[in-house]
Amino acid sequence: MADIKQLQDFATQVRRDILRMVHAVSSGHPGGSLGATDFVTALYQEIMEHNASNFNMEADGEDAFFLSNGHISPMWYSVLARSGYFNVSELATFRKLNSRLQGHPTTAEGLEGIRMASGSLGQGLSVAIGVALAKKLDGDSHLVYTLHGDGELDEGQVWEAALYAGAKKVDNLIATVDYNKQQIDGSVEHVMDLGDLGAKWKAFGWHVMEMQGNDMADIIKVMAEAKAATGKGVPIVILMHTEMGAGVDFMEGTHKWHGQAPSDEQLATALEQLPETLGDY
């Protein structure tokens, strides 16, 4: 049984890390990072079977996660470090010269936990399908998880991949859409209305679920249901309702913090709302 409080404390520390990392270099993407923190925390701390201490690129005999919207890298780096993939002190190098923690995730620097570069959007679902097919060939019953931005769904490749997974019954795959309804130029509705998003995925042959992505208890419950729904000839997509900027009152629910770093004062205000739980890096 998941310890919700423990997961929430972990997520709070991740949020502190995100804000401090982005603030330190005056660049990065705090909004989406904060919104997706609870989900990725739950994945690495509760949901996935994975081996942090002995990173295996091929993900043999373990679950694999692919972050398709690579710009929310500070969140992923923090979760990976605090899950044991690499030393937490390395978070201080984010976006700096000669760092393994590039602005967008990459395999080029040998950072444990990263299996594919992402940043140019729309490519992660295809990658995840490839890994899922390899697991089927190898008789490995572990699952492949992804996270995508909702704005990212504008990219045509996502729908090529969605068509493939539905048609070819890639049923060891759980894709998640961070449905915060914000993208760089404004609201998703304003920039490129996704319409009935669930109906679109359903029409492509996917089993569609919904989840409250800033509610740890709901994440644990829905992800357990999603796992139980794998292996039935249908890929699974979760429309995860989140608030961009979740956890910091003045950042919540607006696209303005998509790619904007907080000032010294804003950082101080934000950190007051997020008490240190696991120790800052």
Partner 1 sequence: MKKYTYTETNDTRSGFGAGLLEAGKRNKNVVAMCADLIGSLKMDAFKNEFPERFFQTGIAEANMIGMAGGLATAGKIPFTGTFANFSTARVLDQVRQTVAYSNKNVKICASHAGLTLGEDGATHQTMEDISMMKNLPNMVVINPCDYNQTKAATLAIMEYEGPVYLRFGRPKVPIFTPADQEFKIGEALMLNEGADVSIFATGHMVWKAIEAGEILAEKGIDAEIINIHTIKPLDVDAVLKSAAKTGCVVSAEEHLRNGGLGDNIAQILALNNPLPMEMVAVDDQFGESGTPDQLMTKYGLDTKDIVAAAERAVARK
Closest distance between partner 1 and the C-beta of residue 160, in Å?
A: 4
By CB under 8 A, the count of residues binding partner 1 is 38
Q: Which is nearer to partner 1, 167 or 199 (CB)?
A: 167
Q: Which is nearer to partner 1, 42 or 174 (CB)?
A: 174
Q: Which is nearer to partner 1, 15 or 135 (CB)?
A: 135
Closest distance between partner 1 and the C-beta of residue 202, in Å?
A: 19
Burial of 165 (0-12, 13-18, 19+ CB in 10 A): buried
Q: Of the listed pieces 81-89, 154-162, 233-241, 243-251, which binds partner 1 according to CB under 8 A?
A: 154-162
Distances (CA, A) of 128 to 28, 147, 208: 25, 10, 18
Q: Which is nearer to partner 1, 13 or 123 (CB)?
A: 123
Interface map 92-131 toward partner 1 (x if CB under 8 A):
--------------xxx------xxxxxx-xxxxxxxxxx
**Residue 223, CB-side half-sphere exposure with 13 Å CA sphere:** 27
Cβ–Cβ < 8 Å for 221, 227:
no
Cβ–Cβ < 8 Å for 169, 129:
no
Q: Which is nearer to partner 1, 131 or 219 (CB)?
A: 131
> What is the rounded CA–CA span in Å between residue 138 and residue 122?
26
Between residue 248 and residue 277, which ones bind partner 1 under the rule CB under 8 A?
none
Distances (CA, A) of 14 to 6, 9, 183, 201: 13, 9, 22, 31
Q: Which is nearer to partner 1, 160 or 249 (CB)?
A: 160
Between residue 47 and residue 66, which ones bind partner 1 under the rule CB under 8 A?
57-60, 64
Amino acid identity of residue 2, one-letter, is A
Q: Which position among 161, 175, 234, 248 is part of the footprint of partner 1 (CB under 8 A)?
A: 161
Rounded (to 5) percent helix, strand, coil in the chain? 45, 10, 40
Between residue 131 and residue 150, which ones bind partner 1 under the rule CB under 8 A?
131-135, 137-138
Q: Which is nearer to partner 1, 57 or 203 (CB)?
A: 57
Tell me the Ramachandran region of residue 84: left when phi exceeds 0, alpha when psi lies from -120 to 50, beta otherwise: left
Between residue 164 and residue 203, which ones bind partner 1 under the rule CB under 8 A?
164, 167-168
> What is the rounded CA–CA span in Å between residue 200 and residue 24?
40
Judged by the rule CB under 8 A, the positions of this chain that interact with partner 1 are 57-60, 64, 106-108, 115-120, 122-135, 137-138, 156-157, 160-161, 163-164, 167-168
